[in-house]
Structures are given as structure tokens and as C-alpha cells.
Amino acid sequence: MLDVQFLNDKASKLVLFLKKVDKILKNGKEAFIKTPIYPDRTQYYLISAYNELEEITCHILKEITGEKHKGDCVRKIAGEQVFSEKLNRTLVDYSNYISRVMEDNFSYSPEELYAVANEITKTLLGIFIKELASVVKEIKSREPKLAIPVNIKKIQDHGKAIKSSVRKISNFLNFPEEEFINTPLFIDRARYFSVVAIDSSLWICRHIIRKLKKKPDKNCFLRLSGEKIITEETGRKLQEFSALRDTLADPTKEYDPKKLYRTLKEITPVFLKFLSEISKAIFKKTG
């Protein structure tokens, strides 16, 4: 799902850098050519603005294509034709400019840079934010409605941390119990990733409780099951395991390795069940 706050932050920085370029260009072409600091500053601001634009377009592309993109998103989104023809041409020109400067080490003359910078800033400051808002509005209209008004991006980030921790813990649990309890590294890492999973689960729990306009307390998982967001069994098991958090986080505190092994065998699938139940509660049909 789109992270509108992320897009707003990136768009604000993009506009800030472009306005700095625009301020320089308004001194006129002759002053731009004769003042060495103007081309240098302009190129710096254009590169900085492009970095923000790249993050914006990568985020939008992920929602449009369903795939994560790690580079060249400005050019790719122009190919998707989600913006106007004029803006798409400018995005391609901007991408070409950055490619020549950063990859080909091409040096633009002040005259060439003035023309390129003028076209980029004029178009982006003129229509990009307006068109971006329209694209965001269209994508948001297709997203499922949330039954609970959570910060879905934060929920997803913590969900990934939980899944990653469970996967790593499971790698240790694939070894026989005897080997696990006699391998300090396994025990240490399993304790660490257990704490990560607990902390992320607690963050999700408290966040949802607050969004339900309740006040979270030390029995968060039990409260969540009481609100019918997760099952009673899931709430009880996570509440019991989360009570071990401080012990597992403190390397000076002992915890029976055999008991840890068996407890983790039982609790790791519960973390995944927790995420599944949370997802169903957040995205359930509201009528």
C-alpha cells in the first residue's frame, strides 16, 4: 500500500531542491554563465532533487507493477505512461542528464546546463506535484479499505521483522535438540531474534490498541484477544512468551537451553498466526 507520508516528505524535499535551482536560474542566463558557482550549485541541487524523485517513482512503481524496483525508476515510470506526455518527456530527459553526469562523467557547459536545468525545473515545479497527487488518489482508490485505521507501512515493516526472525530461529531449530543446546552461538542468536520478534509484535499490538482508542498496558496481547482481533490462544501464548523478553535480552541472565529450544518450537508458528489474524482483522470487509 502507498505510504502517503513518505511520498509527501520526499516530494517536499524534491520541491525544495528544485526551487533552489529555480532561484539561481532567475538571475538570468548571462549571470549563470559568468558566475562559476552557479553551475556547480545547480548540478548539486539537480542531483539531490533526482535522488528524491527516484525514491518517489520507485515507491509508485511498486504499487503499479507489484514488483520492487531498486533503480532507474524515473525512466521506468515514464515508460508506464502514468503521467502526461510532457512530464514523461521531461522525466526521460532528467534521467538522461543524471546518467551522463554520474555514469559517463559528462561535463555540461554552462550554456547547456542552463537550458537543461531550466526545462527540468520549469516542468517539474509546474505540473509534477499536481499529477503525482492524481496518481496517488487513483492508486489509493483501488486499495482495500482498512477496518482499523492503522499505519499500514509500519505494520508491514514490523511484520517483515517478525517473519525474518522466525525464519532465522527456525534455521536453528532444524538442528537436533542436543546439538542446539550444546551450541552457544545457536542459543545466543535464537535469544536475540526472539527479542526482535517480541518487540515487533508488541509494537503492532500497542499500535492497534491505540487505534481502537484504548490504552495499552502490560497485558497487550490479552487485551487484543479480548477485542477479538486475535484468538484467545494466540493472545495467551504471546503474552506468556513476551514475559520472557527481558530475560532473553540480558546475556547475563541464564535461561535453560533445553527449555528455550522446546518453547521456540511451540511459539514460532504462533508469531506467524498472530500476523495472519492481524491482517484479517485490519482488512476484513466493513460492510
Per-residue pLDDT of the chain (287 residues; tens, 9 = 90+): 778 889 999 999 999 999 999 999 999 999 999 999 999 999 999 999 999 999 999 999 988 888 887 889 999 999 999 999 999 999 999 999 999 998 878 889 999 999 999 999 999 999 999 999 999 998 888 777 778 888 888 999 999 999 999 999 999 999 999 999 999 999 999 999 999 999 999 999 999 999 999 998 999 999 999 999 999 999 999 999 999 999 999 999 999 999 999 999 999 999 999 999 999 999 874 44
- What is the value of pTM for the model shown? 0.63
DSSP per-residue codes, the chain: ---HHHHHHHHHHHHHHHHHHHHHHTT-HHHHHH-THHHHHHHHHHHHHHHHHHHHHHHHHHHHHSS---S-HHHHHHHTT-S-HHHHHHHHHHHHHHHHHHTS-----HHHHHHHHHHHHHHIIIIIHHHHHHHHHHHHHHSPPPSS---HHHHHHHHHHHHHHHHHHHHHHTS-HHHHHT-HHHHHHHHHHHHHHHHHHHHHHHHHHHHTT----TTHHHHHHHTTSS-HHHHHHHHHHHTTHHHHH-TTS---HHHHHHHHHHHHHHHHHHHHHHHHHHHS---
Q: Is residue 271 part of a domain?
A: yes
Same domain as 164, residue 122 = no
Q: Is residue 147 part of a domain?
A: no
Whichever domain contains 200, its CATH number is 1.20.120.580
Tally of domains within the chain: 2
Which of 107, 142, 177 is at the close of a domain?
142
Q: Is residue 65 part of a domain?
A: yes
Same domain as 158, residue 133 = no
Range of the domain at 39: 4-142
